[in-house]
Copies of this chain bind each other. A is one copy, B any other.
Amino acid sequence: MQSVEKWGVLEVSCTGKTEGNPFVDYAVWGEFRGEQEQVRVRGFYDGNGIYKVRFMPMYEGHYHYRVSGTFSEDIYEGDFLVLPAAEGNHGPVRVFGQYHFKYQDGTSYFPLGTTCYVWNLQKDELVSRTLKALRESPFNKIRFCIFPKHYVYNLGEPRSYPYEGTPMDSRVLTEENFDQFTGNTQLSNFDFTRFHTEHFRHIEYCINELMKMGIEADLILFHPYDRWGFSKMNKEQDSFFLKYVVARLAAYRNVWWAFANEYDLMDKSHEDWKYYGELVQKEDPYQHLRSIHNCIKLYDHREEWITHCIIQRTDLYRTSENTDEWRRTYQKPVVLDEIAYEGNIQHGWGNISGQELVRRYYEGICRGGYPQHGETFTSADNILWWSHGGTLKGESVPRIAFLRKLLEQSGVQGLKLWEKAAWDEVCGVPEKDEDPEYYLFYYGFMRPCVRNYHLKEEKSYRVRVIDTWNMTIEDRGVYSGSFKIDLPGREYIAVEIQEGVHA
């Protein structure tokens, strides 16, 4: 009997009709029945007369499947066995409590993501290089697109297109003129009713490689940086695209749905976005995480279809400093996708220092949010991590790894801003803790040589001084009540205070 692990991908492949346009003309559905669940999922046409249905089982044990539809006169049925999840397979990520995340199996998930918009659409060698870099990195999430990207540093051809057709000739493009072609629907000729299945198969390869490394695939469904017309499809075409994407990809446990990069730069109305969000909410049997990313104006993340906020900062100066305000406003987890990237390009969104990015990390984490990474260094080969992947060059990455380890070792599930923090510090404490057992004080660009702490007299706390930039941890012993800690008088110092842990 066929078998699959829990939260793995069970695929049933069938042959069917090829007349007309099989993407449009025929339907394929799968029904999957186990002891504890019964799920009906949409299948998809994969070219060459092959129709497929994919399924992610939530339980172990015996299952029965039945694939049927207008694609064939036949009905395909069979049985399979769902085995226990293998090591490293914790299921899909879910919202935990109100502001944080966990894997389905209860394992803590602290999103430490990066952005490589179209790493997946590069040549094999570069895709491999990116996978290697990710494997050696602290990142457990990556944000990327299904559609190719047309933008500065992104003028060449992607490895493939999502539809059958012919793209405009990219040889006419220069750094100076490229923006005149943005949103141009005339120069390319794609058939938005026929998917180029190889494009999707390659994305599936990428998602699968990420899954093996325990990295979530935060898929960007729409974005405005386009010269082929993909950003200008109508509502029917968009919906057709979304159903196909969900049918193909939802069975991968590490998929997240990011409805847009910079929704507010696109010609779609609020009603459109809400419709697409609710469409995917209806289509996706597994309820993967759903979110939408802004340029200038934040989307109203209170809407029911949105599971968590993904935010691009809207103020050049106050970035992750607004995290706690966004939490109060939207009452959902706050993931800070873009708070400027480490780099040196001409644009203010991509030229801050590693120090400043790491500062924004601690500031955001102590305020109960999840700052994310990106890297935009100029290079002779015009390969920038932010869009193409490749090799990580910045100084922030090892510090993010250090932070990841620190958080994992603390055992804390997620922080919020401590209400009693002084005006000149931020301090994260566990979410549901009236009398905190854990404190992460952070001083950012301030350089105190000493600080006073006022905790409980009857408890004892281990105090550690953390240089977040130089990645050192100094154990300072155990204290109770009010006490004073000498600090190095440098920037980027945190003080971790944990109850009941002895030096």
Contact = CB atoms under 8 A, between A and B. Distances in A.
Interface band, chain A: 20 to 34
Interface in A445-488: 445-452
A317 B316 contact: no
A364 interface: no
Contact of A445 (B353, B425, B491): B353
A445 B489 contact: no
Contacts of A353: 445, 447, 491
A449 B378 CA distance: 8
A166 B346 CA distance: 64
Contacts of A344: 447-449, 489
B352 A316 contact: no
B352 A424 contact: no
A351 interface: yes
Contact of A317 (B321, B343, B347, B448): B321
A351 B316 contact: no
Contacts of A352: 445-447
A348 interface: yes
A445 B356 contact: yes
Interface string A424-456: 110000000000000000000111111110000
A424 B321 contact: no
Contacts of A378: 449, 489
B321 A448 contact: no
A298 interface: no
A112 to B, nearest CB: 23
Contact of A423 (B318, B348, B356, B425): B348
A351 B448 contact: yes
A345 interface: yes
A349 interface: yes
Interface string A340-372: 000111111101110010000000000000000
B346 A451 contact: yes
A346 B423 contact: no
- Most chain B CB atoms below 10 A, which of A318, A346, A352, A489: A346
- Most chain B CB atoms below 10 A, which of A318, A351, A450, A451: A351
Number of copies of this chain that the complex holds: 2
Nearest to A347: B424
B316 A346 contact: no
B356 A448 contact: no
- Most chain B CB atoms below 10 A, which of A315, A349, A424, A446: A446
A347 B452 CA distance: 10
Contacts of A446: 348, 351-352
A422 B451 CA distance: 40
Nearest to A378: B449
A347 B345 CA distance: 35
B348 A425 contact: yes
A346 B449 contact: yes
Contacts of A345: 448-449
Interface in A297-324: 315-318, 321
Nearest to A449: B344
Given A344-B449, A346-B450, A450-B346, A316 B491 contact: no
Contacts of A422: 348
Contacts of A452: 346
Interface string A404-438: 00000000000000000011110000000000000
A424 B450 CA distance: 35
A317 to B, nearest CB: 5
Contacts of A343: 447
Contacts of A447: 343-344, 351-353
Interface in A264-323: 315-318, 321
Contacts of A424: 316, 347-349
Contacts of A347: 424, 448
Contacts of A317: 317-318, 321
A110 to B, nearest CB: 24
A356 B449 CA distance: 17
A424 to B, nearest CB: 2
Nearest to A445: B356
Given A351-B446, A352-B445, A352-B446, 19 more contacts: A316-B423, A317-B317, A317-B318, A318-B318, A344-B447, A344-B448, A344-B489, A346-B448, A346-B449, A346-B450, A346-B452, A347-B424, A347-B448, A348-B424, A348-B425, A348-B448, A349-B424, A351-B449, A356-B445
A-B pairs with lowest CB-CB distance, top 9: A348-B424, A344-B489, A351-B447, A344-B449, A346-B448, A351-B446, A344-B447, A346-B450, A317-B321
6 contacts: A318-B318, A343-B447, A344-B449, A346-B448, A349-B424, A351-B489
